[in-house]
């Protein structure tokens, strides 16, 4: 039940309808795709796709993301992952806000069938200017996990996150995102460092480096995963 509720929240959070009359609703989003194919001594294909949708209102901001990664080497799948997140922010004033967030992670080579988490808490805009932005968040929540063996469990978590953005120029933006979900049994940390450069119009190139670390993993599984990706991004 917990898993189903999280998935429903993630899918529908960006399009929540509020009983606010005469409120401007602004939509934006990005579609991102990276693909690599090599032939010869080794046949390798890699696919990384990501979609992001944002809906902003007078008091609310809803964000939904869908991320898919697939890698094959000589016909053998070496990586396959689906990662979905949803987040809603409620504005208290120009600097403070409340948030609720949920995520669903299905990584075929992590030793887990899935890991799902949800949290709510308080956020603060530490920096808020045309060129620099920094948001810090802290909250409480829960995480449910199911191992490939079929064993499942849940635990309470403390969540902290930081989201930094630096507009280096009119055509380039540097971003750094870091989140930590600490539970009694497992602490999961995620970091995404990226540089996006405009090519022409709404089309841009993005270079990113991601790190995911788990303090406790099933036998035979590495605690740290890293990923370097080059993608094309279309903004709408």
CATH number at residue 98: 2.40.160.40
Does 25 map to a domain? no
Domain of residue 41: give its range. Answer: 2-15+30-235
Side-chain-facing half-sphere of 216: CA atoms under 13 Å:
10
Stretch 161-184: mean pLDDT, rounded? 97
Count of domains forming the chain = 1
Stretch 56-61: mean pLDDT, rounded? 95
Does 24 map to a domain? no
Stretch 166-177: mean pLDDT, rounded? 97
Does 56 map to a domain? yes
Looking at the predicted structure, is the pLDDT value of residue 15 above 50?
Answer: no
Looking at the predicted structure, is the pLDDT value of residue 33 above 60?
Answer: yes
More confident: 79 or 114: 114
Does 20 map to a domain? no
Stretch 176-200: mean pLDDT, rounded? 97
Does 21 map to a domain? no
Does 219 map to a domain? yes
Residue 22, pLDDT score: 52
Residue 16, pLDDT score: 46
State the pTM of this model.
0.86
């Amino acid at each position: 039940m917990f898993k189903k509720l999280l998935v429903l929240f993630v899918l529908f959070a960006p399009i929540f309808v509020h009983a606010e009359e005469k409120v401007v609703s602004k939509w934006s989003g990005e579609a991102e795709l990276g693909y690599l194919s090599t032939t010869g001594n080794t046949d390798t294909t890699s696919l990384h796709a990501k979609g992001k949708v944002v809906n902003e209102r007078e008091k609310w901001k809803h964000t939904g993301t869908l991320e898919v990664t697939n890698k094959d080497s000589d016909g053998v799948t070496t990586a396959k992952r689906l990662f979905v997140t949803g987040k809603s922010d409620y504005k208290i004033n120009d600097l403070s806000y409340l948030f609720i967030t949920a995520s669903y992670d299905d990584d075929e080579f992590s030793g887990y069938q899935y890991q799902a988490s949800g949290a709510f808490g308080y956020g603060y805009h530490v920096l808020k200017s045309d060129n620099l932005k920094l948001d810090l968040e802290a909250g409480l929540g829960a995480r449910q996990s199911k191992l490939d063996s079929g064993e499942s469990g849940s635990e309470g978590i403390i969540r902290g996150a930081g989201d930094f953005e630096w507009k280096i120029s009119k055509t380039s933006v540097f971003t750094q995102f870091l989140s930590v979900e600490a539970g009694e049994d497992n602490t999961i940390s995620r970091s995404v460092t990226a540089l996006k450069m405009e090519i022409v119009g709404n089309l841009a190139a993005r270079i990113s480096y991601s790190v995911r670390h788990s303090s406790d993993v099933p036998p035979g599984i590495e605690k740290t995963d890293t990923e370097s990706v080059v993608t094309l991004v279309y903004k709408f």
